[in-house]
Structure 1
Amino acid sequence: MKAFLGMGLLGSNFVRAMIQKGDQVQVWNRTAEKAKALETYGAKAFNEAAEAVKGAAIIHVTLKDDDTVDEVLAMASSGFEPGAVIIDHTTTSAKGAVERTAAWKAKGYTYLHAPVFMGPQNALESSGNMLVSGNQAVIKQVEPELSKMTGKVINLGPEEGKAAGMKLTGNLFLLTLTAGITDTLAFAKASGISSDDVLALFDSWNPGASMPARLKRIATGDFKQPSWELNMARKDAGLMTAAAKEADVTLSFIPTIAAVMDNWIAKGHGNDDWSVIATDAVS
């Protein structure tokens, strides 16, 4: 018997996939109707979190944030079976994951943080990526369970909280990627270029292919043999800003990047590779 707390889009599809694989799953959600809806697929819904976890050796959690996880686990704890394993898929802070690991261990339970790079469809299809870190004996114990839920379990080693930090690192990249796309489309609009034309450009030219090499350059601090000089990148940023201003279109992020470029040019790095602006992030 398994329990699952948190029947949002991700949690509910995890449960459906578990049931398809033959698992018995007891579910709870603060909005009871969402848990009740899973009974159509064979889950057993409960109005109280403590009732939902009774008899469950493994308790999965997919909630909102640190505070919500702490609150719900406290609510459910009176129903925990001795030695129960809590597997938390919530995106939380690294500090929170470390503190929960120690706190629940002190109470006789195993807590493992296993955040995911998975959307609802991934959860239903058992595809995507799941991150874990911490006690390797615990991870070895639960890895068969986790492997059934996802396409790949990425073990980041023995450091508690590293999985949480890596999940946020990945999410930060997704946020900045979307921010970059936003300015790209805004500039295209200012230049009379349709979004279809932008899509056609990126169908032929994949700038993402250069990411590993650029990340390596930044990580190693090798900026003296530029592929794109900072002075030239700053010139282009100026052209972008001017064109957008003339068309009365706002670029949200390029002006900030241009200001950072100006700072590094003032320090004498104008002839270095433009990625020198990332120096402080890795030094």
Structure 2
Amino acid sequence: MNDPKTIGFLGTGIMGAPMAGRLCQAGHRVHAWNRTPDKAQALASLGVAAKQTPKQAVDGADVVIVMLSSGPVCDEVILGPTGILASMKRDSILVVMSSIPVATAKRQAEAAAAQHIRYLDAPVSGGEQGAIDGSLAIMAGGEPSVFEQTSALLGLLGRPVRVGPAGTGQLAKLVNQLIVANTIATVSEAMLLAERGGADPSQVREALLGGFADSTILRAHAPRMIANDFKPGGPAKWQLKDTQTTLSLAKELSLDLPVASLVNGLFEDLVVHGDGELDHSALIRELRRRNGMPL
């Protein structure tokens, strides 16, 4: 590699860990921090250096990547009393890959600019497997020049596309999550209909592949629904966070999204019934409850 970067990576959870590992294995110097220290330390075999605090992780970094769980957590780590902005070097780049509200991304971009830090909001889709494979969909918002300077780096993680100014990456992610959540609900209903109607759901799925009903959700999640395998790649509680954020933005824009509202209610009930830590494909469990079917 002709131009290895020093990267501060904050958040090495289900998706962040393989992302940090890929960057390190590509020849970059990666300094990682996670609220649960063991998760960052577990990457030592890949060459990732675990740090005890966010400030230590971003010290001297050319690029800081944030892959934390939510907007409030990102704000605390970035903008809080001990936030990282004051510790980042001038003209370095902050890339927030967490899923956060559009307004939060815009506010962070303004705060970063005031500290002479360049900002990109670049949330991702593709789950744990996409992070492992480096095939994530990356929706970026920010200045064209900042995107150009980070596109090669982000290309190690997936397929980055700039969709507009700061905040629009998060808007694109909400569009993505709207499609994902609604499709999970539809595929869940379809699998239950096939089952109760007397067909083999696995064979129904096989028959649909390649037709108009085909989708990534049908291919990747229908088998999990059929097998009741809900090890989290994307926990249901975070899907709910995104559907709630989507509906909040829709309200601000005076949009009525009735299907999204219904699906949001299903995810709310799923989480209330204790399944929030399961994969978002576990929504079929909530539909089973409603129909008196065994979980």
- TM-score, with normalisation over the residues of structure 2? 0.66
SS at match of 2:9: strand
Gaps of 5+ in 1: 210-247, 253-283
Q: What amino acid is aligned across from residue 22 of structure 1 in structure 2? A: G
Bigger shift: residues 121-130 or 66-75: 121-130
State whether residues 208 and 214 of structure 2, in contact with CA within 8 Å, keep that contact through their aligned partners in structure 1. no
Q: Residue 107 of structure 2 corresponds to which residue in structure 1?
A: 99
> Which of 142, 147, 153 matches 2:150?
142
Q: What amino acid is aligned across from residue 83 of structure 1 in structure 2? A: D
Alpha carbons of structure 1 residues 190 and 122: separation in structure 2 relative to 1, 3 Å: closer
Q: Residue 156 of structure 1 corresponds to which residue in structure 2?
A: 163
State whether residues 186 and 249 of structure 1, in contact with CA within 8 Å, keep that contact through their aligned partners in structure 2. no
| Identity rate, percent | 25
CA–CA separation in structure 2 for the residues paired with 1:249 and 1:118: 28
How many residue pairs get matched? 212
Alpha carbons of structure 1 residues 124 and 205: separation in structure 2 relative to 1, 3 Å: closer
CA–CA separation in structure 2 for the residues paired with 1:135 and 1:79: 22
Q: What amino acid is aligned across from residue 90 of structure 2 in structure 1? A: P
State whether residues 13 and 121 of structure 1, in contact with CA within 8 Å, keep that contact through their aligned partners in structure 2. no
> Which of 20, 25, 29 matches 1:20?
25
Offset of 1:51 from its aligned partner?
Answer: 1.0
Alpha carbons of structure 1 residues 93 and 249: separation in structure 2 relative to 1, 3 Å: closer
Q: What amino acid is aligned across from residue 117 of structure 2 in structure 1? A: Y
Offset of 1:249 from its aligned partner?
Answer: 8.9
Q: Residue 183 of structure 1 corresponds to which residue in structure 2?
A: 189
Q: Residue 60 of structure 1 corresponds to which residue in structure 2?
A: 65
Q: Residue 274 of structure 2 corresponds to which residue in structure 1?
A: none
Q: What amino acid is aligned across from residue 139 of structure 2 in structure 1? A: L
Q: What amino acid is aligned across from residue 55 of structure 2 in structure 1? A: A
Q: What amino acid is aligned across from residue 130 of structure 1 in structure 2? A: I
Q: What amino acid is aligned across from residue 106 of structure 1 in structure 2? A: A
SS at match of 2:99: coil
CA–CA separation in structure 2 for the residues paired with 1:57 and 1:16: 17
State whether residues 102 and 167 of structure 2, in contact with CA within 8 Å, keep that contact through their aligned partners in structure 1. yes
State whether residues 66 and 93 of structure 1, in contact with CA within 8 Å, keep that contact through their aligned partners in structure 2. yes
Alpha carbons of structure 1 residues 17 and 132: separation in structure 2 relative to 1, 3 Å: same
Q: Residue 269 of structure 2 corresponds to which residue in structure 1?
A: none
When Rg is computed on C-alpha atoms for both structures, the one with the higher figure is 1
Q: Residue 200 of structure 1 corresponds to which residue in structure 2?
A: 206
Offset of 1:136 from its aligned partner?
Answer: 1.4
Q: Deviations 1:136-170 (Å, cap 9, x if unpaired)?
A: 122222222222322x221213x331111111111
CA–CA separation in structure 1 for the residues paired with 2:291 and 2:106: 39
Offset of 1:250 from its aligned partner?
Answer: 4.7
CA–CA separation in structure 1 for the residues paired with 2:290 and 2:193: 8
- TM-score, with normalisation over the residues of structure 1? 0.69
CA–CA separation in structure 2 for the residues paired with 1:196 and 1:122: 24
CA–CA separation in structure 2 for the residues paired with 1:14 and 1:198: 35
CA–CA separation in structure 1 for the residues paired with 2:46 and 2:203: 44
SS at match of 1:91: coil
Q: Residue 109 of structure 1 corresponds to which residue in structure 2?
A: 117
Q: What amino acid is aligned across from residue 72 of structure 2 in structure 1? A: D
Gaps of 5+ in 2: 1-5, 216-287
State whether residues 41 and 50 of structure 2, in contact with CA within 8 Å, keep that contact through their aligned partners in structure 1. yes
State whether residues 190 and 249 of structure 1, in contact with CA within 8 Å, keep that contact through their aligned partners in structure 2. no
